[in-house]
Structures are given as structure tokens and as C-alpha cells.
Structure 1
Amino acid sequence: MQLNLLHSKIHRATVTDLSLHYEGSLAIDREFMDLVGLREFQKILVGNMANGERFETYAIAAPAGSKAISLNGATAHLGKRGDLVTIMAFAHFDAATEADAWQPKVLVLGDENQKIIKRPTV
């Protein structure tokens, strides 16, 4: 049996930009993506803590060190600059051999998208 478990999460990321006329996706600082093992074009689930919106899209890399979190395309209607979002990716794991030992990579951001907590070691 396969289980769909949390693979990685970026929690309390502050939306820094909106681009309605972009073709779509969520732009994320490449450094944040690398810290949690998130790949470009990977499907993600985003929860907006400010308004309760939840939506699926895919990740694209913003320049490393930019601290950018940009809602692009239709997702620009689902938040505003300054909103806090949680970005989640999931993966399939074999229940018998992988699931029990799996620990997701979690990055918790502080004010202005400063890295403050990484769990477990990433």
C-alpha cells in the first residue's frame, strides 16, 4: 500500500508580490526550495492563513536570496502582499518500508521571510 505523506513544508511565508498576468504558479526563493527539497514545477498545496484560501499550483524558482513568495496568474486573486501562507508538497511512500521512518523537511519563516527554524535537519 502507498501512503501520501507530507514531503516538505514552508510555513509562515510572507507573500511579497502578485503578478496577475503571469502564466501561473507560485514563485518561491530558490534557497527556500532547496532547504526543503522542493523541485521546480512540483505540485504544491498552498494555504493562506490570512483568508483561509487553499489552492493547488506548482512551484517555480525565484532568485536565491530574494526572499520572494509571489502569487502568479489566477492565484494572485487568492491573497495579497503581506499575507502569511503555508506551502506544502506531498509524496507517495510505501507503507511497509518507508512511511514509518519518514520525516518531512520543514522550514518556518519569520518576519520578512527570514529563516528561523528548520526541521528536521535540512
Structure 2
Amino acid sequence: MLIQRFKSKIHRATVTEANLNYVGSITIDESLMKAANILEGERVQIVNNNNGARLETYVIKGEANSGVICLNGAAARLVQPGDVVIIIAYAYMTPEESASFEPTTIMPKEGNRLP
């Protein structure tokens, strides 16, 4: 049996852009992706702390050290620049793997910079 478990999180990033006229996804600063152990194309859940919206999409790599957090396509209707979001990735693993697994959480500073 496999369970789905929290794997990685970018906690309290600030949305920098919302681009309705894009095919969909979330663009994340590559430096944040690497620090949080999130891969390009990976499925993530976005939780908007400002309005309670929750959505799922996939990740597009943004320019490293740019601080970009951009919701694209339909997701752009659920956020505004300046909103604070939590970006969560999950992984499937056995209960045995889960027992010793340590998820990765990063908490960006102002401007979505690494601490």
C-alpha cells in the first residue's frame, strides 16, 4: 500500500504576478524550487492565505533569484499580486518509508528570498 504524504513546502511566499492569459501553472523562482525540493512539472497544491482559495497545478521553473511566484491561466483568478500563499508538494510512499521521511519546508524572506 502507498500513502500520499506531504513532501515539500514553500511556506508564506508572496505572489508577484497573476497572468490570466497563459496556458496554466505556477512559475516559481528556481532557487526556491531547489531549496524546497520541488521539481519542474511537479504537481503542487496552492493555498491562498488571503482568501482561503485552494488549487492544484504544476510547476514551471522561473528565473533563479528573481523572487517570482506567478499564478498562470485560470489560477490567476484566485490570487492577486501581494497575496501570501503556501505551495505544497506531496509524494507517494509506503508507510515504512513514511516513518523515517523528513519533509522539506522553506520560509522565504521578504521578496521571496531564501533565508
**TM-score, normalised with respect to structure 1:** 0.91
Equivalent in the alignment of 1:73: 73
Alpha-carbon distance in structure 2 between the residues aligned to 1:113 and 1:7: 20
List structure 1 segments (4+ residues) > 4 angstroms apart after TM superposition.
Answer: none
3-state SS of the aligned residue for 2:102? coil
Equivalent in the alignment of 1:27: 27
Equivalent in the alignment of 1:120: none
What are structure 1's unaligned runs of at least 5 residues?
A: 117-122
Residues 53-80 of structure 1, C-alpha deviation per residue, up to 9 Å, x if partnerless? 0000001000001110001000110010
Residues 99-120 of structure 1, C-alpha deviation per residue, up to 9 Å, x if partnerless? 110010111112221223xxxx
Alpha-carbon distance in structure 2 between the residues aligned to 1:51 and 1:39: 26
Equivalent in the alignment of 1:119: none
- What is the number of residues matched between the two proteins? 115
Contact 2:65 2:113 in 1 (8 A): no
Equivalent in the alignment of 1:113: 112
Equivalent in the alignment of 1:45: 45
What are structure 2's unaligned runs of at least 5 residues?
A: none
**TM-score, normalised with respect to structure 2:** 0.96
Alpha-carbon distance in structure 1 between the residues aligned to 2:32 and 2:111: 13
Alpha-carbon distance in structure 2 between the residues aligned to 1:64 and 1:28: 9
Equivalent in the alignment of 2:99: 100
3-state SS of the aligned residue for 2:99? helix
The structure whose residues are more often strand, as a share, is: 1
Alpha-carbon distance in structure 2 between the residues aligned to 1:50 and 1:110: 18
Q: Which amino acid aligns with 2:88?
A: M
Q: Which amino acid aligns with 1:64?
A: A
Alpha-carbon distance in structure 1 between the residues aligned to 2:113 and 2:26: 18
Alpha-carbon distance in structure 2 between the residues aligned to 1:85 and 1:110: 13
Alpha-carbon distance in structure 2 between the residues aligned to 1:64 and 1:77: 25
Q: Which amino acid aligns with 1:22?
A: Y
Q: What is the aligned-residue identity percentage?
A: 38
Q: Which amino acid aligns with 1:99?
A: S
